[in-house]
Amino acid sequence: MIGREQYVPQLRGAAPPRQGRRGVAAVECALLLPFLFLILFGTLEVGRVLDVHEILTQAASTGGRQASLGTQTNAQVQQSVLNYLSFAGIPTTHATVTVSDLTQPGVDVSQATQLDTLQVLVTLPAGDITWTGTTLVISNTSLIVGQSCWNSARGLVYPSNVTVPPGY
């Protein structure tokens, strides 16, 4: 009779178990872990850039809406956009806000005529908003841009003699 320690059942076609494979998982982990971190940090950076781009676009849209009313100057619209960015948690030290009348270049938006095209352009260096500090996706000197174009509503007269229809 064969002792238990000597009898090892073998499946047909299976290789006998090897004893020296204990460190293979550690080596595979050591080789793949840098690539996994690279993918993780790259995904975080892309998400952050997209998030900041959306915030810049919304800030430009807010400034464009205020510029279209014709009640604020270029400087007031710029300050309003910077306040929006500040409240959203975006650093404004290197942010650039440009407010312009595309129909009549050089004219302040408070003096724009009816239906002039007004543009608000917000730029910010990518180095100001990265979380990981790496340049995996975008360089630190690249600019993230948000833009908005509105038509001037200055001078539009809204009816004030509107009557409520019967039944309301």
Q: Give the number of C-alpha atoms closer than 13 A to the C-alpha of residue 83, restricted to the C-beta side.
A: 8
Q: Could you tell me which of 64, 63, 55 has the C-alpha nearest to residue 79?
A: 63
Tell me the pTM.
0.75
Higher pLDDT, 51 or 131: 51
Average pLDDT over residues 65-81: 94
Q: Could you tell me which of 90, 152, 149, 82 has the C-alpha nearest to residue 115?
A: 152
For residue 5, the model assigns a pLDDT of 62
Separation of alpha carbons 156 and 161, rounded Å = 15
Q: Could you tell me which of 84, 63, 87, 65 has the C-alpha nearest to residue 75?
A: 63
